[in-house]
Structure 1
């Protein structure tokens, strides 16, 4: 199946902001859409400027033409628009007029089904007239009321019309794969990109998801999280380890597996390291260090361990995703991995995967820091490696 094109909705009324956003996302999108408010406010000159700056990108002008189709659309095609939109509600004559203007300039026409009562009938008529793209569009007001384009998308896709299918309305990184699987040829994304802390990163994530580059997506995500993590953490954690008599590690589920990995590495490095919950783990005492791995900082079983260790006078270090939490309030030091915005739902990295993998690499990097600073030879570490395997 051909991979869908990604259309970036440029909705700002500020022309300079629009052009900056286009520059940030150009590498990851195929079509620049000049949104209806944007084109009304800034005029036809924006079409020419976008084509001048990005000659290899398609430019769609969301005119939402309702009458005088040829007369309204022709100047925009002449200015460089590759695609113009016409409302399905406008009727056959208006749609045919826009198609006529498009033919003169080698452009294409998208018929927008927004607010059309009988979308199936309108799509069939648009195909008969010779339109190139049918737009399944849930507008902002409808989105605010909780509507989505998915049901309409499925109904139109089942028709098997000789037209490309575009879908718009609240599409984000979590839903883009769903619309692509249904059969969308063009996926329109707006707020999920321009409303993100990093529009370029958001556009790249959507591109990788659409293209099925899941390994690349995971690597880039973890790289971004570690890049946002305080670089002094490895040195600070190393000092805590040196200052402590013994080190205990605790985590639940996959965070617990990360904790075990770290404990094993510490043992190889010559530290007295224990995993909380193992039958051979001794009692924790004053002067010991408890390293807690909990993304939320609220894991109930780990909270109980933390309270007990605090009562015994041990030092508590929390590795988590946020600055404030119940366990964090008990901890002597908190190591926040990345920032909270980086832990929103990511397709292909479910249920804490981003935190766990990022923490694993952070701790492995800390071990490398310790080995380098202390000059611990690998041969010495191998003498501590298990031989009853």
Structure 2
């Protein structure tokens, strides 16, 4: 296994199109909540940081400053299997309140998919699945795909709304 193999796995299996509908949804949503477990959650935190630098009001579920989700908010869930019980619970709460749910997953045959308004399919497999899709262990390919898709989304968002990098730099943390 080498760099080229990993990059090939990522580029071969992702839904690489960023739809204008998702750009517009993100732009028009006042508050965005994000969640994922384990390494998927860590990768999604990088996306949350960039959304904040774009000027969006962003919360990562489980942090102490996370308020109650409300109607018209957006919940983004990263789950390769779509079957993580706590994430299913979050999707249920969001749907019952009237918030939008956007799932980032490896498949459409899962519980969270059925509760989602929007779905983006990314490269990878569930951590316990057997698959020839990747030589990498467990959910590594999905977690990498979450990070890269988040960066790709931000670039497309900046281009679509003509946001210069200088605006993000102004919002970059200065307590570091």
When the two structures are superposed, what TM-score results if normalisation uses the length of structure 1?
0.42
Larger RCO: Structure 1 or Structure 2 (Cα < 8 Å, ≥ 6 residues apart)? 2
How far 1:230 moved relative to its partner?
A: 5.2
Match of 1:327 in 2: 112
How far 1:259 moved relative to its partner?
A: 1.4
Residue correspondence of structure 1 range 269-288 to structure 2 within 5 A: 269-288=54-73
From 144, 152, 155, the equivalent of 1:357 is 144
- 1:266 is aligned to 2:51: yes
- 1:370 is aligned to 2:157: yes
Is residue 247–residue 288 contact of structure 1 (8 Å, CA) maintained in 2? yes
Is residue 234–residue 365 contact of structure 1 (8 Å, CA) maintained in 2? no
How far 1:234 moved relative to its partner?
A: 4.2
Distance 2:124 2:11 in 1: 13
Match of 1:292 in 2: 77
Distance 1:384 1:234 in 2: 25
Is residue 44–residue 146 contact of structure 2 (8 Å, CA) maintained in 1? no
Residue correspondence of structure 1 range 160-175 to structure 2 within 5 A: none
Distance 1:230 1:265 in 2: 19
User: Can you list the C-alpha shifts for 1:73-114, whole angstroms capped at 9, x where unaligned?
Assistant: xxxxxxxxxxxxxxxxxxxxxxxxxxxxxxxxxxxxxxxxxx
- 1:235 is aligned to 2:20: yes
Taking structure 1 as reference, are residues 234 and 257 closer, same or farther at Cα in structure 2, changes over 3 Å only?
farther
Distance 1:350 1:289 in 2: 31
Match of 1:225 in 2: 13
How far 1:243 moved relative to its partner?
A: 2.7
User: Can you list the C-alpha shifts for 1:221-269, whole angstroms capped at 9, x where unaligned?
Assistant: 111123xx152x3433212212322111110001101111111000011
Match of 1:192 in 2: none
Structure 1 residue runs without a partner (length 5+) = 1-212
Distance 1:294 1:322 in 2: 10
Is residue 44–residue 150 contact of structure 2 (8 Å, CA) maintained in 1? no
Q: How many correspondences in the alignment?
A: 171
How far 1:366 moved relative to its partner?
A: 0.6
Distance 1:385 1:329 in 2: 36
Secondary structure, counterpart of 2:13 in structure 1: helix
Is residue 322–residue 339 contact of structure 1 (8 Å, CA) maintained in 2? no
User: Pairwise CA RMSD of aligned residues?
Assistant: 1.7
Residue correspondence of structure 1 range 28-107 to structure 2 within 5 A: none
How far 1:271 moved relative to its partner?
A: 0.9
Secondary structure, counterpart of 2:81 in structure 1: coil
When the two structures are superposed, what TM-score results if normalisation uses the length of structure 2?
0.90
Secondary structure, counterpart of 1:261 in structure 2: helix
Match of 1:71 in 2: none
Distance 1:264 1:291 in 2: 14
Is residue 9–residue 123 contact of structure 2 (8 Å, CA) maintained in 1? no
Distance 2:139 2:151 in 1: 18
Distance 1:313 1:388 in 2: 36
